Structure 1
Amino acid sequence: MPVCPNGHTSADGRYCDVCGDAIPAPPSAPAPSAPAPSAADPAEPPVCPHCGTPRSGRFCEADGYDFDTGTLYTVELSIDRAARAVPLVPQPRTGSAPAVSSWPSALVAADRAYFDAVLAEMGPDAAGLTFPPYCPERRVPLRGGQVRIGRRSASRGLLPEIDLGAPPEDPGVSHLHAVLLAQPDGSWNLVDPGSTNGTTVNGGTEPIPVNVPVPMRDGDRIHVGAWTTITLSLQEGPP
């Protein structure tokens, strides 16, 4: 029952039945406080900003995002397939592609003007030569210390990097006709080791001397066989 300030028990909860004093209202119960977080319920782990995968380590398991540096990583296969290496190459987050350089290369083509010059020089002996009606151009990268020009020969174990024995086969090319040799300063020299029909350069009519290195420059043209012209691209640049 309510009790007044003078200690009287009263049936009336507002005023005391004995002395008539006002009975104060009982204090309200405090609001229940929020339960403390349980140690068994940890905060949710951060997620990858690119794919939303929850973080389980430094790198995202889905796209390779580095949580520590904020760098997105992608996987690119190495050029050397025999090595089967798969290096991680960082890509800028802005989306811009990194600069890529290509190898120096040689453009191999059937040259009608060179073929006509060969016919004029051979005269009647060129009666059996015909220019190929279809001979697509192809580009061969210049890699390693030497690039051989010739025709493949399984019996001799010759596998030239620039193989002119594939159809349409140039009948005037020797199995080992000429060789491009890389120099320490990045330049290239051309050597004819003793081909049957000789090697000319840049439309010239006199073959280069046998076993004498001839320096090559970007854009130089090498003429071999009956119709083949090889144009050099020696400056590295975007593919």
Structure 2
Amino acid sequence: MTSCPAGHQSVSTDYCDTCGCPMRVVHQSATAAAPPTAPTTCSAPQAVTCPHCKTSNHAADFFCKHCGYDFTTGSLPTTLPQAENTPAAPSPVSVAQPPGACEAASEPTLPSPTAPQPPSAPGQLTPQSPWPSPPDPEPTTHARRPAFRPPNTQPAPRRSDWVAEVWVDPAWFALQEGEGVAPSPGPPTIVPLRNTTAMIGRTSASRGIHPEIDCGVDTAVSRSHARLTTDGRRWWLEDLDSANGTFVGDATSTPPQSPIPTGQKIEIDADDRVWLGAWTRIVVRPATSTE
């Protein structure tokens, strides 16, 4: 090992390993050594710029302290210094899979929306739904509306202002001197007179005769015997060509002997009575509040 002119120990014989100063070559003869020369003062080391990364380095450096550029050979190192300290990432380990596993993994299986859930065992917790259930509807306090009912289109029965009393008159039956026995007298039959006309007679279904004042079983009364008409305040009686005639008289006198003319309207008073057939007597009067 030799020393540079500055006194540094250096392995290299051309330049000092420490300061880069040129080394002095000492030639010694076999017989005598060369006279010593005066020591030479070494100049200060100079800076060297790396041609690769432009980093400033000492003139005595063999490599760039930043990128490792070799100033002697003029080449870069095969591996950068930064990469030397970085650990290599481990390679992924491949796991052997059975055939068809890749196809099954590429198509995710969606749960069927209609698939029934198995019943939970006793004591097993039921999984909670991620969505909150809607609140229960509040009980309504409104009263239920009644069902609609259409109005009654049928008119109410009109109150009758007049009625006809149909009696069994034994005195009239005795005056006729007819055969058979008259029915027992009793309370009269009250017939409301709601129309302006009312026919007196006996019902005949075969002939279509339905009188308003039906004299029942008195066979001496014709089917269409007589007719009553009114203007609302007064009443008139007309014989309809009956077989036995129609008789009119007041309540104080005895029954008349002659019938009224056929086809003529005869006004009847409030106290008049109408006789016809074998025992029938009819009285027309205003209706009471209960009739």
TM-score, L = length of structure 2: 0.43
Aligned twin of 2:229: 181
Provide the secondary structure at the position in 1 that maps to 2:174.
helix
2:160–2:194 CA contact under 8 A, matched in 1: no
Equivalent residues in 2 for 1:112-131 (5 A)? Answer: 112-119=170-177, 126=178, 128-131=179-182
1:193–1:210 CA contact under 8 A, matched in 2: yes
Does residue 214 of structure 2 align to residue 163 of structure 1?
Answer: yes
Of 262, 267, 273, the match for 1:215: 267
Aligned twin of 1:192: 239
Does residue 104 of structure 2 align to residue 104 of structure 1?
Answer: no
Write the deviation string for residues 158-217 of structure 1: whole angstroms up to 9, x where unpaired: 0001111x3xx112100000110122x521100001000000012211100001100022
Write the deviation string for residues 99-135 of structure 1: whole angstroms up to 9, x where unpaired: xx7520011010011111111xxxxxx3x33211366
Aligned twin of 1:143: 194
Provide the secondary structure at the position in 2 that maps to 1:189.
strand
The verdict on how the C-alpha distance between 1:204 and 1:111 changes in structure 2, with shifts beyond 3 A counting, is same
Letter of the structure 1 residue corresponding to residue 280 of structure 2 = T
* % same residue: 35
State the Cα distance separating 1:86 from its structure 2 match.
7.7
Aligned twin of 2:205: 154
2:170–2:185 CA contact under 8 A, matched in 1: no
Q: Select the structure with the greater relative contact order (CA < 8 A; seq sep ≥ 6).
A: 1
Structure 2 Cα separation of the partners of residues 134 and 112 of structure 1: 7
Structure showing greater Rg: 2
Structure 1 Cα separation of the partners of residues 196 and 161 of structure 2: 13
Provide the secondary structure at the position in 2 that maps to 1:149.
strand
1:179–1:192 CA contact under 8 A, matched in 2: yes
State the Cα distance separating 1:148 from its structure 2 match.
0.6
2:167–2:185 CA contact under 8 A, matched in 1: no
Aligned twin of 2:257: 205
Question: Which range moved further: 101-110 or 169-178?
Answer: 101-110
Q: Which structure 2 residue ranges, 5 or more long, are not aligned?
A: 1-142, 147-151, 250-254
Structure 2 Cα separation of the partners of residues 135 and 238 of structure 1: 20
1:102–1:236 CA contact under 8 A, matched in 2: no
Aligned twin of 2:184: 133
Q: CA RMSD in A?
A: 3.4
Q: How many residues align?
A: 148
